[in-house]
Amino acid sequence: MNSDRNDAAFTHTIEAAGSCLNCRHALPRLVDCAPAYFEQGSIRCGHCGEQVDLWQAALNNAARLSIVPAWALANLGAGKTNLVIPIESAKHQEIDLCRHGVPADAKILARNYTGQGDEVTAVEWHGNSPPLRFPGTVLRLMGVPLGEGPLPRTGRVAIAVVWIRGDDSDAWPYLTTAFEAAAAREYAPSIVFAQSAVEISIMPIIKQRLRRHAAADRVENFMKDSLAYSHALNAVLPYMSAELGAPRMPDAVRGALNKMRKKRNDVIHEGDKVAAVTAEDAMEGLCAAAFGFEYMRYVGPILLEKAK
Ligand SMILES: [Zn+2]
């Protein structure tokens, strides 16, 4: 049976870039408030009016929650949905998350089921081959009674889900995989994919810009043989942004991207054991990747449109 939205006693979906450092009020979605942060260096809290350092707001919350990485990701661009729904014992029930504010193209990163009032809880139902990663956006649940008492019975179950929406950009699948890996506590692969997401965001824009004034094959060779990602991040991109009157990537973001680059190189060259990537490292790296991705989404059109 499909649950109707009206069955839910409570439903709440939010995508927030951390919370205000002054009043703890949830800030807007990263994609919506990042441009103001890049332009002004802070954003205004819609609740208390304080100017908030968006980077610190997102990073503080993510670092604080890094002991439960899947939930920490909700501060870095992932969404979070909470609902409380009646579930009947021994009955199969499907919850279409799209009816509770989750986009149809979202990937589920984590879920939690907690019975309310010691009556019934829910477990996930699956066929003979349980999927390793959660497929789609429909929860297939079975009500399980808690403790003694008459059967069947119905109880309220709190459901919490963390998810990341889809995006058309070439870099997004890499960022999504980085988030999935972090949610699974696989921190070394997470930062490898996170850095790839940033590289794929930066390099094609630099390439397109260079091709305005240099031969295509020369640019191709330069990008392949000479232009390291660190040079692109720390020299070419700041130069191009400044020349074209666009805000530079905030130093805090670039600094964290450099820190992640060194960790990622340790992973690639010396292995996971030597690199010893912690949950805090991964959260800072993912925060940097999410902000780096948003910076390129913001600055890319400026770098390309203003070029003559
Ligand atoms: Zn505030």
- pLDDT tens digits, 7-55: 666 888 888 888 999 999 999 999 999 999 999 999 999 999 999 999 9
Over residues 233-257, the pLDDT tens digits come to 999 999 999 999 999 999 999 999 9
**What number is the average pLDDT over the span 208-234?**
96
Over residues 6-15, the pLDDT tens digits come to 466 688 888 8
pTM beyond 0.85: yes
Among the listed residues 22, 99, 291, the one whose alpha carbon sits nearest the alpha carbon of residue 299 = 291
| Number of domains composing the chain | 2
Q: 181 and 83 in one domain?
A: no
In the predicted structure, residue 308 carries a pLDDT above the cut 80: no
Q: 116 and 221 in one domain?
A: no
Q: 228 and 183 in one domain?
A: yes
The Å distance, Cα 62 to ligand 1 centre, comes to 18
Helix (H) or strand (E) holding 18: none
Question: What percent of the chain shows pLDDT beyond 70?
Answer: 96
Q: What is the pLDDT of residue 7?
A: 61
Q: What is the pLDDT of residue 106?
A: 95
Structural domain including 96 reads 2-9+78-164
Q: 299 and 177 in one domain?
A: yes
Q: Are 174 and 100 in contact (CB under 8 A)?
A: no
Q: Are 195 and 263 in contact (CB under 8 A)?
A: no
Please enumerate, as own/partner, the contacts of 33-41 that have beta carbons within 8 Å and a separation of 24 or more.
34/291, 34/294, 34/295, 34/297, 34/298, 35/298, 37/250, 38/247, 38/249, 38/250, 38/294, 38/295, 38/298, 38/299, 39/247, 41/250
Over residues 158-176, the pLDDT tens digits come to 999 999 999 999 999 999 9
In the predicted structure, residue 186 carries a pLDDT above the cut 90: yes
The Å distance, Cα 78 to ligand 1 centre, comes to 21
Q: 176 and 160 in one domain?
A: no
The Å distance, Cα 217 to ligand 1 centre, comes to 51
Q: 299 and 248 in one domain?
A: yes
The Å distance, Cα 172 to ligand 1 centre, comes to 30
- Asked which of 164, 183, 198 is the last residue of a domain, the reply is 164
